[in-house]
Amino acid sequence: MKLKYLTIAILTLLIIPLKSEAQTNDEKQVAFIRELYSSAMNMLQMKTDPEYPAKDRMVIHIDEMWPGSGEHKGTLELFYGLDLNYDSSELQRFPHFARYKYNIGSMNFYYEILYHDPDDGNKDSCKPVFFYTKVSGFKDKQYECRYYFWNNKLIKKIASDNSEDFISEEVALERAKFISTLIGMQDLWNY
């Protein structure tokens, strides 16, 4: 009996440092993502300067009438980098940052998506690392949620409330990936 308790105690002591190391790595990655976000905000500020020559930005506006909920308006802004693909002699775009605001009826939604490109210009290695969502619900109550991703896995979630209006981390990741495909539609944008 004592051997059983001793074995459990030893296994517990071995597992605790592994879990602690994983948490430390996650916190380092979250800190890195926050630095990337700060850099992206500086980049956006710089690009709003009228003297800055190229914005490297794509904007999509939506204005529709939805049955049952009325007017639906949305604006999607995509900020990206450009590089020349030397194999095909074509420009290739890779996402840096996106923001999307829209409404459904009286509810307003806002997203920010941050991408990380560890290969500096390789659109295939570019992955979403941060997804921020804000929902303005009924009676002007606002809810916020932040998702931090690394290698397409959630490493941290910070929510202001347990609102049912938040999308799941799986849906956030899929939306971020879909939005990045809009930038990479080479045949549409290069010709």
pLDDT digits (tens, 9 = 90+) for 102-156: 998 888 999 999 999 887 666 677 899 999 999 887 677 888 999 999 999 999 9
Nearest to 55 by CA among 46, 64, 65: 46
Angle at 72 between CA 71 and CA 77, to 5 degrees: 150
What sign does the CA torsion over 159, 160, 162, 166 have?
negative
- According to the model, what pLDDT value does residue 37 have? 93
> Is residue 92 over pLDDT 80?
no
User: pTM to 2 decimals?
Assistant: 0.80
**Contact by Cβ (8 Å): 71, 65:** yes
Task: Report, in angstroms and rounded to the nearest whole number, the Rg of the chain calculated over CA atoms.
Answer: 21
Q: Positive or negative CA dihedral for 109, 77, 180, 70? A: positive
Q: 3-59, pLDDT tens digit by residue?
A: 555 455 554 545 555 444 556 788 999 999 999 999 999 988 887 777 777 778 888
Helices and strands: H and E segment counts in the chain: 3, 7
The pLDDT value recorded for residue 191 is: 54
92, 110 Cβ separation under 8 angstroms: no
Residue 190 has pLDDT above 60, yes or no: no
Give the three-state DSSP class for 50.
Answer: coil
Per-residue pLDDT, 118: 81
Burial pattern 152-172, b for ≥16 Cβ within 10 A else e, equals eebbbeeeeeeeebbbebeeb
Residue 7's pLDDT is: 54
